[in-house]
Every structure is written in C-alpha cells, then in structure tokens.
Amino acid sequence: MLKKIKEIAQGYYNLFTGNEEELMNNRLEICTVCEYNSTPNEITNVSYCKSCGCGLKAKAASPDSSCPKGYWNAHRSTNKS
C-alpha cells in the first residue's frame, strides 16, 4: 500500500512540475479508450481507474506505476531500497 501511495505522490509531483509529460500522454492515450476509465473516451481532472481506484493523470505521470490490467508497464525499475 505504501508503494502505491509513493507512486501516486510521485505522479502528482510530475503533474505539477511538467516532468514525464511524454510518458503521461502516451499512457493516457491508452487510458482514454479503456473500459476501466471512469470517464469514457476522455480524461478529466477527476478521471480514475475503476480497476485500482487511482487518479488517471497522476498514475500515468508516475514512471514507477504500471496499469493493473497490463495495458502499460512501469517505465523504470521499481526495485528501490
């Protein structure tokens, strides 16, 4: 659970700083049409994944996060000490 919280916090940080924008946009293209998107065919500030409950923008902006349904993977290793 703590790992997930850290990933989402990292995602919100990246949202506010503009980091990982290309990664986020690539992932959100997939999320836009996903059946688990709470706002079908669009991404809004309140869109969330109906599978894991995470906010889509924050989750997509976190390189260490992966899609719970396997549509996209973590961008870098999550094996941190």
pTM of the model: 0.87
DSSP assignment string, 14-81: HHHHTTTHHHHHHHHHHHHT-TTBSSTT---TT-BBTTT--BHHHHHT-TT---TTSSS--SS-----
Where residue 77 falls among pLDDT bands split at 50, 70, 90?
very low
Read off the tokens for 43.
Answer: 């991404």
Residue pLDDT, tens place only, 3-48: 889 999 999 999 999 999 999 999 999 999 999 999 999 999 999 9
* Angle, vertex CA 45, rays to CA 41 and CA 49, nearest 5: 60
Q: Which pLDDT belongs to residue 20?
A: 94
Q: Stretch 51-73: mean pLDDT, rounded?
A: 96
Q: Which residue has the higher pLDDT, 80 or 11?
A: 11
Query: Tokens 């659970």 identify what position?
Result: 1
